[in-house]
Structures are given as structure tokens and as C-alpha cells.
Amino acid sequence: MRTHYAGDLRPGHVGSRVTLCGWVEARRDHGGVVFIDIRDARGLAQVVLDPEQLPEAHRLRSEWVIRVEGSVRERPAGTVNLELPTGEVEVVVDTCEVLSEAEPLPFPIDDRPGGEGAVDEALRLRYRFVDLRRPRMQANLRLRSRLALAVRQAMEDQGFVDVQTPTLTRSTPEGARDFLVPSRKQPGTFYALPQSPQLFKQLLMVAGLDRYYQIATCWRDEDLRADRAYEFVQLDAEASFVGAEEVMAFIEVAVAAGIEAVTGTRPTEFPRMTWHDAMDRYGSDKPDTRFGMALVNLTDLFAASEFRAFAGKTVVGLRLPGGADTPRNRLDAWTDRAKALGGGGLVWMRVEPEALDSPVAKFLSEPEQKGLRDGLGAEPGDLALLVADDDQRLAQTVLGALRLEIGAEVGARPTSLAEPLNLVWVTEFPLFEKLSDEGRPVPSHHPFTAPHPDDVLGLEDDPLGARSLAYDLVVNGVELGSGSVRIHDRELQQRIFALIGIGAEESQARFGFLLDAFRYGVPPHAGFAFGIDRLAMVLAGEQSLRDVIAFPKTQSGADPLTGAPAPVDDRQLRDLGLRAAPPPD
């Protein structure tokens, strides 16, 4: 149907006859001559129609699909548009065919940054096929495709085998709620959509596959956020007879290849940081290491302070270089923010040559004031910000979150998520994240993660103190993915289940197939998974996963395009042995 893409035309084509197909992006009707910008997958070109010869030229409207034939010429002097790659040429059309007409669009295709912001998101998603015409969305989907291909190739090159695992399966505990699919053949029973292929990939190791990977869709029924979707796509991998080091090396190769395919630059630095250090220095297990303002632990300095808000608490501080002139209303706003984040408050101190200017300075002794300056490396003109709490983790995370927000506000934190790219491995995660309401430890990763060998003995005595062999890959403050060395010992696996409150019977019922498999010769194994959507989002510099997913759901989990989720026929329910309960109040 066509000889060229509109977006590909260049001065080298001058004199050629071309046939182009695409959408009418814009139409400028000057009466005696009609200019059309025709848009296709590769860009835009200007075509010129003479209505004397082609009377339908006056009829053409936005977003009609047309096919034009003509010859390429240089644009007349003064009409060249250097902002457009095709802007030095135009096509003088002698044949024009309307392939389909279009009704006026529900919203304009506005590709300026923030241009879509004016359009209600539900409307964008209802007409996603129009929304996806925006060059930025097109670029994002193409970026994603290049990324996935490079990642896949890198895994293949490293000897990994692509295996597809089932989507109708049993629950996989990754800490979220399952999406369930009722069974027709066995009414009253349900499949679960996998939260990840975790159990299958471990079985593939027992099966001797040695190195497995898959670009796998995972389903998790949890509250949606900008960086969370019900269904998301991960590069999922597992390998046998390896430990954390080898897995990290495999993943570095794949991530580097993916990034290089998109940006042209291969990242070479994958520094490591223990979870403990990440919390200490950044107040986060997914640190954005692109800027300073690192946290400093000042607990010891104030252990016996006269100042009751500090004494005996965890005290963490950071230095805002040159921040002493921050106006009082900003300081108050930051303090409110600290409270909203769950902290007791925020202590600020302006660093002056001889003293600290702060409402609380009078409560601090000379040595404490000096220790604070030295500890933070503060210079006159800086601002010190401190958070204190009985709960160490809370003090750290509150100041860590403020660091990101204030860092962005004062211009220390890069505004684009896409650059520079700082990757960092966070290792030695705690095995358990907290105690549940029932007082049971909750796995930080999932219950198949191996404890740190030094902490196995005391697991039951101090579960929250145990480290694990789990590691996360983080980029610019975004968690790309997680992995771990797995437990391959039945006894230890049973101990972990028991600790988290899954008794022998229940573990047999839910994971018996895995535990049984371990009876038949299981190799030590380890693995990882990272989000393809997440990495695409970062590389595209987008703030929301929805901008790199073709057909995402709204924040409330609906798909305005297809109308999912939707009621079904009574008959379908009957077949499934289900009856709809009245909606809860």
C-alpha cells in the first residue's frame, strides 16, 4: 500500500515518487492549496494538495486515514521547518484516497509534556487506542520492546532457557492477595493466578533445567499506585549450583544490555550496600544514591542528653548544604510533613559561625552542639534536620522520605527519573520484616528465601534479628526487583513455615508439591526477578507505570476500555457453582 513511511522522508528523497499512508494530523486549508500533515508510525510529513485537481482535499478531516501518492520536493525557501526531521521536504500529491473517515476525537492528541494531564485519565484509558497515538506513548511502547528483546537475548546468551509456566495454578506467597479463578469442573475450587512463577522455577531446578528465565506476567491483588499494577511483567530467572554472587552477575548482564539497548550506554557500576547501611545512610531500602544529604546516626551523641526529645532515642540527622536561609514557613511545612509520615516532628537548626540557631539549641550542651556539627560535617550557612524516635526504623524512614522530598524541592535530587542512572544492589535484607498482628514474623521477601548461614541457629529466638540471603536491585530510588538464595533443605523450609505460622499440615496442603520435590534430589539454587515495566518506566523518564503499559487499569482497578471487571451471566455463575452475594455495605 505504501512505498515509504512519512516520517522517513529526507532531502535525499527529493525527486522520488512516493506513496504514503497515515492519519491526518493537521490540515491547513488555504482555499487554493491544502496542506496536510500526515502521521504514521515513524513521524510526520507535510503533503500538498491542489483542490482543483483533487476536490476531496477540502473534505479531509483530522484523524482520517488516507493514502497519498506524489513526488517529493524541497520546501520553498522560508517554509522549511527544522524542528521536524522531515521539515525540509514536502510531497506534492496527485492521487489521494480516503481509507477511512474518523469522528471527532474524544480529546486532542496533545503530546506536549503534561499535555495529556488536562484529559481525565479514565477518558484516556476508555479511548486508549487514541491515547496511544501520541508519539510519547508510541515511543514508550517501542522502548519497552527493545528493552525486553535485549534482556531476553542476554539471558539466552548466558545459557538460560525460556520456559513458560502455568497461569492457572495454586497460590504463590509473595505477600499479596491472590486473583482467583473458579473451576467449572470442580465447583467450589479455585485456581490462583501466580503472584510470580516462584514455585515452578524452583521445580525446574529440581528438574535439572539448570538455568531458567521467562518474561512472566505476575498477578497481585493489592492497592494500585503509580508504581504498582495488578498485573505486571518481570524478567524471572533461577539458576542451580550458584549463590548470590553469580545471580547478581547474570542479572547485571541482562539489565546492562537492556539499558544499553535503550540509552546507547552500558552501565558498568553496580555498587553494593547492605540493607543495614541503606537504612542508616538513606533511611530507605531503595535508596536514591544520585545525590547526597545522607543520613547520619547521632544516637550515641545524645544518649544521655538533657534534651528529653533526644535522650535515649534513635536520633538521625542530615545536612542541607546552604540551607540556613530556608524560610520559616518551609521549615514548618517540612515539620508537618514529618508528622504526616508518622514521625513525632522535625528538629531544624541553622548553622551559624559560632552557634546553632534553633528553638531547641538551648537544650543542647556545648559538646553536643559540637558533636552535631562534626557528625554532620556542617558548615556555617547549612541547615541541620533531625528526627528522633524510640523506633529506629521509623526515625530513619521518616528522615529518608524527607530527604527525597526536600532534595527534590531544593534541586539536589535530579528531576528526571531517567538520568543519571544509579544502580545499586541492596544485600542482606532481614529475613523477616515485622511481626504480624498475630505476632508471627512476616517474610521480607517470600518464605523460600534462605536465612543468612550465621543466623540460622538463632532463628526462633530472634527472628527479627536474622539476616537473609536476599538482595534487591535498585535504580534511582525505584526497586527494580528482588531475589534470593533459596532454602533447599526440607527441614529448614519446615522451620520457616512453622515460624510464620504455617503448620506441617497446612504447609503440606499448600506447598506439599515443592516439599515433596525436595525429597528427590534438589540442587542448591538461587534466583531473581526484575520488573520490565518498572525498568521501562525509569528509562522512559515516566512517573507512572501506566505510561509504559499499553492497556493499564485505572487507580481503582477498572479498565474503562473493555469495562472489566464486569458482572457475568447467571448461567456462567451456575456452571461454576457460584452465587453472587449482595455487595457489602
Q: Is 362 exposed, middle or buried (0-12, 13-18, 19+ CB in 10 A)?
A: exposed
Closest CA to 96 of 12, 11, 24: 24
Closest to ligand ASP by CB, 25 vs 252, is 252
CB 478 within 8 A of CB 472: no
- Cα angle 532-131-1, degrees, rounded to a multiple of 5: 95
Question: How many CA atoms are closer than 13 Å to the CA of 506, on its beta-carbon side?
Answer: 9
Distance in Å, CB of 272 to ligand ASP, minimum: 18
The residue ranges of DSSP E strands in 310-358, in sequence order, are: 314-320, 347-351, 356-357
Distance in Å, CB of 264 to ligand ASP, minimum: 29
Distance in Å, CB of 522 to ligand ASP, minimum: 16
Scan for cell 535484607, then name that residue. Answer: 429
Distance in Å, CB of 259 to ligand ASP, minimum: 20
Would you give the DSSP letter of residue 11?
G
Classify each residue of 425-462 as buried b or exposed e, where b means 16 or more C-beta atoms within 10 Å of its C-beta.
bbbbbbbbbeeeeeeebbbbbbbbbbbbeebeeebeee
Closest to ligand ASP by CB, 24 vs 466, is 466
Closest to ligand ASP by CB, 233 vs 364, is 233
* Chain residues in the site for ligand ASP (CB under 6 A): 174, 196, 198, 482-484, 527-529
Closest to ligand ASP by CB, 247 vs 417, is 247
Closest to ligand ASP by CB, 295 vs 532, is 532
What grid cell was written down for 325?
536561609
CB 320 within 8 A of CB 406: yes
Distance in Å, CB of 312 to ligand ASP, minimum: 38
- Cα gap 202→407, rounded to integer Å: 42
Closest to ligand ASP by CB, 130 vs 487, is 487
Distance in Å, CB of 248 to ligand ASP, minimum: 12
Tell me if residue 46 falls in helix, strand or coil.
strand
Distance in Å, CB of 221 to ligand ASP, minimum: 15
CB 300 within 8 A of CB 434: no
Which residue lies nearest ligand ASP, judged by its C-beta? 196
CB 382 within 8 A of CB 320: yes
Closest CA to 411 of 322, 494, 514: 322
Distance in Å, CB of 480 to ligand ASP, minimum: 11
Distance in Å, CB of 215 to ligand ASP, minimum: 13
Closest to ligand ASP by CB, 258 vs 343, is 258
Closest to ligand ASP by CB, 343 vs 447, is 447
- Helix 532-540 / helix 244-263 crossing angle, nearest 10 deg: 40
